[in-house]
Amino acid sequence: MKRDFIKRLKSMLKVDFMRMFTMPAVYIMFGVSLALPVLILVMTSFVGGEATGETAATFTNVWQAIGSAGGAMSMDLTSMCNINLLYFLVAIFVCLFVGEDFRSGYVKNLFTVRAQKTDYVLSKTIVLFVAATGMFLLYFVGAMIGGGIAGLSFDLAEVGASAGGIVACMISKIFFALVFVSIALTLSTVGKAKLWLSILGSLAAGMLLFTMIPMMTPLNAGAFNVVLCVFGGPLFAAGLGAVSNVILNKTGLV
């Protein structure tokens, strides 16, 4: 039974990875994740320096593109236009990826044979988490490139962070993405072929959670934040995964 489950999950994962990496949307998302911080940092430093002469509201330090120390969220550019924007991109990608299964009728092939809804939800969560991880890492790389081009400071102490804190922050952010992945996945199982419904629902849910992100994943994150996200993210995903499973089992698939 257990071996059968592993076998099924392995083939489902193989299919989902194969699908994801042959999907243009994933490369667009990766490209956007890499280009977004470069554009934000370069453009805002130009506008801040040339047009207004003020830099306080814009980026002065490259690490501001990753987050803020202390986890406070303000309504300025650095809080609104940092790595946390990626959670919305992740949610949209989840909806595109899962919605395509329903729109193409692929779920008919999948669920009439041996695939189980649990395998489907689990496999999608894992694959989309991998995609989200890629997006966050690319954003990080993009922020370094953008910061270099814009001539921003790389001083960690200036923003109240440390190297360890940055690593912990990134780990926390990546695992926190599981929350968004599972929300978008659940809403996609509700919306099915109605892509607009799942995207709008996911974005709305994202807006509600947006203020929580800096608190959970501050720039000077510590062991507590890492533990909270590394265990909390998967737990949350497992809970919502069970809900997705019930939705798939109780509702029609076509």
Residue 196: closest CA among 96, 108, 85: 96
Among 31, 70, 105, 239, binds another protein (CB under 8 A): 105
Among 50, 157, 223, 252, binds another protein (CB under 8 A): 252
Q: Using the 8-state DSSP alphabet, how is residue 76 labeled? A: S
Whole-angstrom distance, CA of residue 20 vs CA of residue 30: 12
Residue 21 binds another protein (CB under 8 A) = no
Residue 253 binds another protein (CB under 8 A) = yes
**Binders of another protein in range 211-250 (CB under 8 A):** 249-250
Distance of CA 123 to the CA centre of its chain: 16
Angle at CA 168, nearest 5°, toward 31 and 220? 105
Residue 9 binds another protein (CB under 8 A) = no
Task: Write down the least CB distance from residue 83 to another protein, Å.
Answer: 31
**Binders of another protein in range 71-100 (CB under 8 A):** 100
Task: Write down the least CB distance from residue 242 to another protein, Å.
Answer: 18
Residues 247/186, Cβ–Cβ less than 8 Å: yes
Grouping H, G, I as helix, E, B as strand and the rest as coil, residue 107 is helix
**Binders of another protein in range 165-194 (CB under 8 A):** none
Whole-angstrom distance, CA of residue 33 vs CA of residue 38: 9
Among 28, 46, 57, 109, binds another protein (CB under 8 A): 109
Residues 123/245, Cβ–Cβ less than 8 Å: no
Distance of CA 205 to the CA centre of its chain: 13
Among 115, 130, 171, 190, binds another protein (CB under 8 A): 115
Task: Name the site residues for another protein (rule: CB under 8 A).
Answer: 7-8, 11-12, 14-15, 18-19, 22, 24, 100, 104-116, 249-254
